[in-house]
Amino acid sequence: MPRITAQEVYQICEESLPWAGIMGFEITDIGKGTCRVRMPRKDEFLRPGGTVNGPALMSLADYAMYVAVLSAIGRVEMAVTTSLNCNFLRRPKAGAVIADCRLLKLGKRLAYGEVSLYTEGAEADGPVAHVTATYSIPPARDGG
Amino acid sequence: MPRITAQEVYQICEESLPWAGIMGFEITDIGKGTCRVRMPRKDEFLRPGGTVNGPALMSLADYAMYVAVLSAIGRVEMAVTTSLNCNFLRRPKAGAVIADCRLLKLGKRLAYGEVSLYTEGAEADGPVAHVTATYSIPPARDGG
Amino acid sequence: MPRITAQEVYQICEESLPWAGIMGFEITDIGKGTCRVRMPRKDEFLRPGGTVNGPALMSLADYAMYVAVLSAIGRVEMAVTTSLNCNFLRRPKAGAVIADCRLLKLGKRLAYGEVSLYTEGAEADGPVAHVTATYSIPPARDGG
Amino acid sequence: MPRITAQEVYQICEESLPWAGIMGFEITDIGKGTCRVRMPRKDEFLRPGGTVNGPALMSLADYAMYVAVLSAIGRVEMAVTTSLNCNFLRRPKAGAVIADCRLLKLGKRLAYGEVSLYTEGAEADGPVAHVTATYSIPPARDGG
């Protein structure tokens, strides 16, 4: 059972993370330490070549990690990324992107996980990008 | 002498990289393989804690690398990021962010560089983030 | 079916990669684009705290990637690492280490994969380190 | 003034980090948060193509970071790498390698720095590899 619901994440975003709304992120699945997030197709995300730009993909991956961390520890809004490594593997199509995230480690102070990103409907082509990231968990938790 | 001007970069962005305009990136300095880019303060970039969110910082760094690569090879719009590694070092203040970028290697097929990000006006506090990134340069160049 | 056998990899190492012999790497499983490699416990690998040092873990991961790449493309000795990112997740015990590697992308020029490292006999504790790496594949292949 | 001398680092290595001796690392310069380390040419480090293998370069970079961290905080043997990102930029010649390291951040719990690696005598060709790494500093310091 996840320790936070998609609705609770959306509420945090409404209150203090406007970026997620601008990007249109949608949590389509949430487990404990895992999640799937969808980023819709938007013209603003296109780059030369008609594909989705890298920053949009990294934003999606970072958000998916945030959701996965909160799904494991509960409502700790102040969890922050300390490092993120992104490898772009294939040219994404100009469509929606799906992020599959799972934590590989959940410690008291740090969480580490990986995110695989796919063009929606072209998952069989393999991931368009692969991200690993570390989140720092603040000592005083207000939730979970 | 840079092989592209700030105006020419802005023109590429207007035509095919709308993201840069949305973010408000401003090229304040451009050399050959180096540049400085400014990201203004925007409420959309804030995150819990009142600081600038990580994706905005990574977007800025990625754009600065793009500008630095084009400054070295000329107008090659199809240059694409192949990997980006970001380390978040200090909590940025809720203000404008400055990115200083320089290439460490410029090969025929790959460029590699680093970007240091600072809160504008608080440069003396040290970088808020440090990014290294690799760009792939397509074989057929339409410029430079 | 892998396109190279463990014996063939050992032969390359004997001829031109003495490091692998010094480290004592043993290929315990090899598929097509996947492998498992074992690094024995050696006093030389210890570091303050009585654990396995980071360079030994990174060496093991890099070797596992090399084996996985060759398992997918055949005998191409000149495949070289272009980037490697290692996250150390848990203090390894002073014992043998197991590396599980799989490729996430195999292109004509680049291969990308991930490696999870475990203390032998303590796999259930989770990985002690997680590595992602990119290999460059030279254009002229002498095998595969 | 560095908070540790090269001799004191060598003493730690003799007592509990045998790897450094095996590799032949030599500290040729040490400041506060900076250092230069030399790795001699050894046949054991060669790889197909007659160049220095990646693990030897990463070992050198990791050691240089360790020395730079100790130069800033004093004798804290239990400082450990938490992440290391290496980009291989040019084929090194089969010679000695020089590592130039500097810290970009020194916090209470984390240090972050970068290392540029050069073939000795071919520094003008540019770095053969560039490394960024994070070290975790244990809370109870026994020195410094």
3-state helix/strand/coil string of D68-97: HHHHHHCCCCCCEEEEEEEEECCCCCCCCE
Residue A14 to chain D, least CA–CA distance (Å): 32
Would you call A57 helix, strand, or coil by DSSP? helix
For residue B11, what is the DSSP state?
A: H
Residue B75, pLDDT score: 95
Do residues A130 and A87 touch, judged by C-beta distance below 8 A? yes
Question: For D45, which of C19, C78, C88 is closest by C-beta distance?
Answer: C19
* Global pTM value: 0.96
Calpha distance D25→D27 (Å, rounded): 7
Q: What is the number of other CB atoms lying within 10 angstroms of the CB of residue A77?
A: 19
- pLDDT tens column, A8-42: 999 999 999 999 999 999 999 999 999 999 999 99
Question: For B77, which of A12, A18, A48 is closest by C-beta distance?
Answer: A48
Beta bridge partners of A98: A38, A118
Residue B123, pLDDT score: 97
ipTM of the complex as predicted: 0.95
Question: Average pLDDT over chain A, rounded to whole?
Answer: 95
Percentage of chain A with pLDDT > 70? 97
Q: What is the number of other CB atoms lying within 10 angstroms of the CB of residue B18?
A: 17
Q: Is B62 on the interface with A (CB under 8 A)?
A: yes
pLDDT over 60 at D144, yes or no: no
Beta carbons within 8 Å of B130's beta carbon, 6+ residues apart:
B86, B87, B89, B114, B115, B116, B117, D104, D112, D114, D132
Give the phi and the psi of residue C85 in degrees, each rounded to 5.
-120, 120
Would you call C61 helix, strand, or coil by DSSP? helix
Instruction: Give Cα separations from B135 to A132, B3, B8, B63, B73 (angstroms).
Output: 19, 17, 19, 11, 12
Please answer yes or no on whether C105 and A126 come within 8 Å at the CB atom.
yes
Q: Which residues of chain B have pLDDT under 50?
A: 141-144
pLDDT over 50 at A142, yes or no: no
pLDDT over 70 at D45, yes or no: yes
Best to test chain C binding among A65, A87, A89 (most C CBs inside 10 Å): A87
pLDDT over 70 at C140, yes or no: no
Residue B140, pLDDT score: 61
Do residues A71 and A32 touch, judged by C-beta distance below 8 A? yes
Give the phi and the psi of residue C62 in degrees, each rounded to 5.
-65, -40
Among C27-41, D16-30, D129-143, where is mean pLDDT lowest? D129-143
Arithmetic mean of pLDDT, C60-67: 98
Do residues D30 and D63 touch, judged by C-beta distance below 8 A? no
Beta carbons within 8 Å of B19's beta carbon, 6+ residues apart:
A44, A45, A47, A53, A55, A56, B13, B59
Best to test chain D binding among A80, A81, A82 (most D CBs inside 10 Å): A82
Segments of A12-128 assigned E as strands: 26-30, 34-39, 46-47, 51-52, 80-88, 97-106, 110-119
Q: Is B104 on the interface with C (CB under 8 A)?
A: no
Do residues B127 and D105 touch, judged by C-beta distance below 8 A? yes
> Nearest residue of C to residue D84 by CA position?
C86
Please answer yes or no on whether C83 and D86 come within 8 Å at the CB atom.
yes
Arithmetic mean of pLDDT, C77-86: 96
Calpha distance C132→A104 (Å, rounded): 13
pLDDT bin (cut points 50, 70, 90) of residue A140 is: low
Instruction: Name the one residue in this structure whose structure tokens are 């910082």.
Output: B57
Would you call A135 helix, strand, or coil by DSSP? strand
Beta carbons within 8 Å of B2's beta carbon, 6+ residues apart:
B30, B31, B32, B35, B71, B72
- Touching chains, B (3+ CB pairs < 8 A): A, C, D
Arithmetic mean of pLDDT, D78-97: 96
Residue C141, pLDDT score: 47
Residue A5 to chain D, least CA–CA distance (Å): 31
Please answer yes or no on whether D48 and C22 come within 8 Å at the CB atom.
no
- Touching chains, A (3+ CB pairs < 8 A): B, C, D
Angle at C107 between CA C106 and CA C109, to 5 degrees: 120
Q: Is B85 on the interface with C (CB under 8 A)?
A: yes
- pLDDT tens column, B84-107: 999 999 999 999 999 999 999 999
Residue C48, pLDDT score: 87
Q: What is the number of other CB atoms lying within 10 angstroms of the CB of residue C20?
A: 24
Residue C50, pLDDT score: 87
